[in-house]
Amino acid sequence: MSSIYQRNDTWYIQYLSNGKLIQKSLKTKDKRSAALQQKQLDAQITLGQINITKGKIPVKATFAKLLEIRRPSLRPSSFTRYKGLAANLVAFLESISREYMNDLTDTDIARYVTFRREKGASNKTIFEELLIMKYAVKMLIEHDHLIKSPVKRWPTVKVTSKKPESIGGYAQDEIRKILAHFAGNPIYDYFMGLIYTGCRRSELWAITIADIDFHNGAIRISSMKTGTNPTNQFRHIEIHRDLLPILRRRAEGKRQSDAIFPIQGKGLWLLRALRKACKDLGIQYRRLHGLRHTFISTLLNVGTPLRAVMEMAGHSDFETTLRYSHISQNDMRGKINQLDFGGGAAAVNTGTARADAEDKPVIVAEPARKKRSRKASEEDA
């Protein structure tokens, strides 16, 4: 693939073509424009490498390219499983004569879920296979092979965790303990970035200096999981006051294209550090995703509009955001008395009036009874 670099304020691109290094000017001083041209060129290169044409996109070539892209970021055992799940998808699509990704339909995906369940596949396996299919479609959109996803509605497959106690967010006092545990450690910055932006791990690593707008106090985050087109490819988060000095320090002396939270290795060090910290602190480990969970649920609990939280979290629909709206017993305590429909004083007055009336005889007129036939009386009995 290609790479871009800046020389005398002008952006250039370089790439290999038939073993020869090609370098040429992109004739722009704007990095975003250069990145867009790079993306278009990479799409052309990919078209040539996997024999994909703009009209028809072969299923086999698509998944082969996806595996090639994903392989460096996966452990050997994980890649083997990933490859097997992708093979299940390809085999099914071939069995229903779907040779091209363009021809996929909502019905095809629904049939796949039914087919896999009949074969005894677990919900977890089916969920992972659908995720791989989504990644494949997203890859094609990012490389301009598809304008939009051919699948408009993806089936919902619920996965039950074997460790439900590990799902959910951390309490605020737990977050404070975790941050205090890492104070003075370089990893502290990463956890501050996660808890105050709500980003996914991969999204945090993708943030560059160019994505930080110090003047307007905002961070641009690439919605790597849900972005499908230019309108939802990025989201913007206000910079928290406690995160601002960290970003300024980490951005100092760096180029615009440098990552502000660069990945180290395959990123497992971050998970391991959090797991060990939770063990040392006596806190239930709720995964790294628990920090994102805390970010979203806290915003909802303090009354942030649902639409705003959905945008800040990078969700594609309200239903996903509402999964994070867990309310604890402490959150509910004292709230019932905030209801004020009146009636309290009236109840007191009514009681007083009733007491005064008890000394007076009350004559209640008995309603006149309608004469009923003998047959009707027998039926009631």
Question: Which pLDDT score, from 0 to 100, does residue 317 have?
Answer: 83
Question: Which pLDDT score, from 0 to 100, does residue 145 have?
Answer: 82
Residue 256 has pLDDT above 60, yes or no: yes
More confident residue, 219 or 70: 219
Question: Which pLDDT score, from 0 to 100, does residue 161 have?
Answer: 59
What's the rounded Cα separation, in Å, for the pair 179 and 281?
Answer: 11
Which CATH superfamily hosts domain 3-142? Tyrosine recombinase, N-terminal domain (1.10.150.130)
CA torsion angle 37 38 40 43 (round to 10): 170
CATH 1.10.150.130 residue ranges of the chain are: 3-142
φ and ψ of 45, to 5 deg: -65, -45
Encode pLDDT of 168-218 as tens digits.
889 889 999 999 999 999 899 999 999 999 998 888 988 999 999 999 999
Summary mean pLDDT of the chain: 80
- Whether residue 26 contacts residue 11, with contact meaning beta carbons closer than 8 Å, is answered with yes
CATH topology of domain 165-331: hpI Integrase; Chain A (1.10.443)
**Tokens of residue 54, six digits:** 């703009």
Question: Which pLDDT score, from 0 to 100, does residue 275 have?
Answer: 92
pTM here?
0.53
Distant-in-sequence, close-in-space partners of 279: CB < 8 Å, separation ≥ 6:
285
Residue 220 has pLDDT above 50, yes or no: yes
Residue 375 has pLDDT above 50, yes or no: no
Work out the pLDDT band at 227, boundaries 50, 70, 90: low
Question: Which pLDDT score, from 0 to 100, does residue 327 have?
Answer: 56
Question: Which pLDDT score, from 0 to 100, does residue 369 have?
Answer: 52
Residue 326 has pLDDT above 50, yes or no: yes
- Whether residue 181 contacts residue 277, with contact meaning beta carbons closer than 8 Å, is answered with yes
Encode pLDDT of 302-317 as tens digits.
888 989 999 898 888 8
Residue 155 has pLDDT above 60, yes or no: yes
Question: Which pLDDT score, from 0 to 100, does residue 50 have?
Answer: 45
Encode pLDDT of 44-78 as tens digits.
555 455 444 456 889 999 999 888 888 877 778 88
Question: Which pLDDT score, from 0 to 100, does residue 47 have?
Answer: 47
Closest by alpha carbon to 198, among 99, 87, 290?
A: 290
What's the rounded Cα separation, in Å, for the pair 109 and 154?
Answer: 7
**Alpha helices, H only, 119-266:** 123-142, 172-182, 187-197, 201-206, 244-251
Encode pLDDT of 19-33 as tens digits.
566 778 877 877 877
Question: Which pLDDT score, from 0 to 100, does residue 276 have?
Answer: 94
Residue 352 has pLDDT above 60, yes or no: no
CATH 1.10.443.10 residue ranges of the chain are: 165-331
Question: Which pLDDT score, from 0 to 100, does residue 228 have?
Answer: 59
What's the rounded Cα separation, in Å, for the pair 97 and 109?
Answer: 13
Work out the pLDDT band at 332, boundaries 50, 70, 90: low
- Whether residue 224 contacts residue 234, with contact meaning beta carbons closer than 8 Å, is answered with no
Work out the pLDDT band at 91, boundaries 50, 70, 90: very high
Question: Which pLDDT score, from 0 to 100, does residue 381 have?
Answer: 42
